[in-house]
Amino acid sequence: MPDASFPYTPRMGIEAALPVEGFMTTQLQRVINWARRSSLWPMPFATACCGIELMATASSRYDLARFGMERMSFSPRQADLLIVAGRVAVKMLPVLQRIYQQMAEPKWVISMGACASTGGVFDNYAVVQGCDQFIPVDVYVPGCPPRPEQLLEGIMAIQRMIDEDRIPPKGPDGRRVPANIVLAPTHRPTAQPVALGLR
């Protein structure tokens, strides 16, 4: 129980980390970057099975909310992180481009999975062979599908970019220059935990 003769003020979160005086000095740009990296608002463009892993990333086990992004936005004007998860059909491409154009600046793009990055196994006339041919992609997350951990790694790569103040600049033609970060696959298949009984 707190001492009644002493005003009890619980200190939590950033307050607990601050000195007793309650103030700290820093640079405005650092605060802006901290706020920006802690409140990325994803715009899910999930068209196929990778979308299920994207949903799993937002679920309780992987808890995307830890990164300040529990608010999946289905309105591009209130989003700044486009996650392309799944194959992009040629018919859907204008929709994807329109969504990208409508998103708030500064904005980032993650290409999640083999289909979004390369067309995957769907090497045919109906599927775009890599969304980076039409929108700037900052982080490529490999896999078919990538696990939620890999998507989180991709999101953290974006956060590191923001921390370092590396907002992608515009090129000489005025078009956005993509960051082109490629994550290394980290998944190592392990042995089955139970005997399969096949003899």
Dist CA 149 CA 56 (whole Å)? 10
Q: Which residue has the tokens 């980390």?
A: 17
Shortest distance (Å) from residue 142 CB to ligand SF4: 9
Which strands sit side by side in the sheet containing 42-46, from one edge to the other? 42-46, 81-85, 108-112, 139-141, 181-182
**Is residue 115 at the binding interface for ligand SF4, with CB under 6 A as the rule?**
yes
Q: For ligand SF4, which stretch binds (CB under 6 A), given 3-11, 101-109, 112-120, 131-139?
A: 112-120
Shortest distance (Å) from residue 21 CB to ligand SF4: 52
3-state SS class at 26? coil
Residues 128-157 that bind ligand SF4 (CB under 6 A): 144-145
Dist CA 12 CA 10 (whole Å)? 6
Q: For ligand SF4, which stretch binds (CB under 6 A), given 5-13, 63-71, 107-115, 177-185?
A: 107-115
3-state SS class at 107? coil
Structure tokens, 42: 């994803």
Structure tokens, 182: 């490629």
Output 50 or 96, the one with its CB closest to ligand SF4: 50
Output 48 or 89, the one with its CB closest to ligand SF4: 48
**Is residue 46 at the binding interface for ligand SF4, with CB under 6 A as the rule?**
no
**What residues make contact with ligand SF4 under the rule CB under 6 A?**
48-50, 86-87, 113-115, 120, 144-145
